[in-house]
Each structure stands twice: as structure tokens, then as C-alpha cells.
Chain A
């Protein structure tokens, strides 16, 4: 450091320039496009138009919260059970949790269509055993199922990595002091895994709120989420200005919810 200080500091310059150009500048363009019209003149029209999309925003938030909670309910016991296995089995199971994430989520979501369709796999099975088919595709439930399916690994991973490092002597101490099983889980394991839960929640909530593919495929177009609306502005109606203002609101929404989440965790660090 004494001799190579300034030289070493200088080699971060390319990245700083890169970040300014391609991380910070694009955010300014979101703001710029939000407050201008197609001709580049200042306007508040895009902001006024946003009121039309309040129901869509609310639906996105609601679906995101429900999907996140379901993921948490499924992932917490799963992570706990995995963390109790031997090292070798743990490693294999974690590989199996991550493996689906390596495959295109587009195809996996599409595959759910084949399963959930009115004439799909589940319904043909139901008919075969003499039960009336159930309408599943193009419902809100199907969209939430798609979210839970796609983002469940993001909830299992951080909770598992906290639990795998847990100091189980604490748990033993609690048992020695007369705690029963439920109390051990409630008083020891849950509080100690909070950091993993917090980062799991953000890792599931953010992509759920902003998704656009899952809702189109499994919701059949009748459950528009905010991502769908943004995607349409950029890829179909080419109204970049409205799209930018919707993105701006989505960004602020996510930042606010992250701030709330960070408030709950002692250290604001992510566990990946």
C-alpha cells in the first residue's frame, strides 16, 4: 500500500466510468423519458396516466406477497430438513434444488401450461379416474403457482445456507434446558435464520412483482401484471415515455420495500 497505493487505485477507473455510463446514466434516462413526450418536451402526462394503472400495481403487489409467503412456507421446512442431512446428501440435494434454475424458465413455465390446461395432464388424469375436470389455467392461482415454481429455489438457498452454518450447540443447550421440539424451532432456529429469510423474501418478491412472462402464459392475458404493461409499452405500442414512468414507479416501489425489509434485519447484508 505504501508504494503501490495510487497505481492500484487508478485501475478501478475503467469500472467507475463503466458504472457511470451503464448503471447510473440509464436511471437518469428513465427519469428523463418519464417527464417528456415523444418530441422530447417536458410533460406530466405520463405521470397522470399512471392512475389508470393503480389496479395493476395493486394486483402485482398482492400476487407478489402471496407468492413470497407460499415460497417461505414451503422453503423453510425444506431448508431445515436438508440442513439436517449428512454432508454428502446435503450437497446432492442442494444441487437438485439449483438444477432447474439452469434451464430456461420460459420453457419450464410453458411446460406448466401442458400440465394445467383444461385438456392437460392433470385434467386427463382426473377424467380417467372419474372426477370432473378442474379449470386451472388462466386463473390467478395458476399465475401464483408459476411464480412459486420459478422462484422457490431463491427462497430455499439463502435459508439453507444460514441453517447449514447454524451453531447447533445452541439448539442442544435449549434441549438440555428443557425446551421441547416446537419451542426449539420457535425460540432458536427461526430467530437465527432470520437473515436468510430476509434475503429469500427479497429474492422472491422482486422478480415476482416485476414478472411479465409467467402472467402472460399462465394467466392467459386476463391477469395483467405491471411487468406486462411495461413490456407492452416497449415492445408493442412503442410508448417509451409511459413505459419509463411505469418503470420509475416500479423501481421506487421495490426500493421502498427493500428499505422496509432492511429495517427488519440487523445487518443490511444479503446472504446469497
Chain B
């Protein structure tokens, strides 16, 4: 009877996945500029935009700038899409997250178009977003994103974008 390989310790698995996500998110200057972070549960991501005065677009209300909302949704879509590519590569052992640094990031998808629906005023508090890959093909992807603040069921914005996928063999780690 051959002994089955012991499963990896949970901390090792977690650390590998978190390191990959950190490299992906922290490698993009504009994501850092806006202060967006990602919370991970298994492969599910939730984007978090902590409120900051520099995000204000209407000082009278005050309200979050529409451009910030658009950027938050687009960042969430791109990271979700990139994460799905990284996840498969990482879990199959083809990609070593320890080799990911700002100069060795996976190639990012390129936005073809992005449409934002502004449903409610963005209030001066933290915002959250989740993206869903409605289609993720070899060349093109269609992604839907929902963003909310206090109540998950009361969206303040939603968006849909189309993306051109990175070429597979152009990845640095081969």
C-alpha cells in the first residue's frame, strides 16, 4: 500500500496565496495611490476602498468622486481577472509566487471598454466591491462588478467591462 502524500500545512498554502495576491495588488502604483486592498477567502476576493479626503469629488455633500468610483470598479475587475489566471497557474505549480515582484508580475489584462452605472451617491465612508467573470475566454473577457458601502444589497455603483487577455506565453515565469 503506497502512502498518500501528506497535504500541505494550511499555513503554507495560505501564505503562498496571500503572497501572490499581495504581489499582484501592491505592484500597481495606482492601486496604492487610491489605497485599495483586497480581502481573500479561498479564491473569492472582496475589494476594499478605505475612505480618504483625497477621494472626494463633491466637497459640499461630501461625496466620493465619480472617477474614483469608476477606478475602484475597474481595479476590482482587473484584479479579479488577473487573480483567476494567477490562481490556476499557482495551484497547478506552474507559477512560484515567491518569484513575483513588481518587475516580475503576470501580464495584466487590458481594458477594452468599461461602463459604470452610478446608482447612489458615494458616501464619505469605506466602500467594497466584488467582481464576477461572466466570460473569461482565451482572448476576451467580460466582467461585472458591484460596489456597496453600508449594505450589501444597496449598491452605490455597478459596472461591466470587456478586457483583452494577456498572451499566455509572454509570462515571465514561463
A and B interact: no
Which residues on A are within 8 Å of B, measured CB to CB? none
Name B's A-contacting residues (CB within 8 A): none
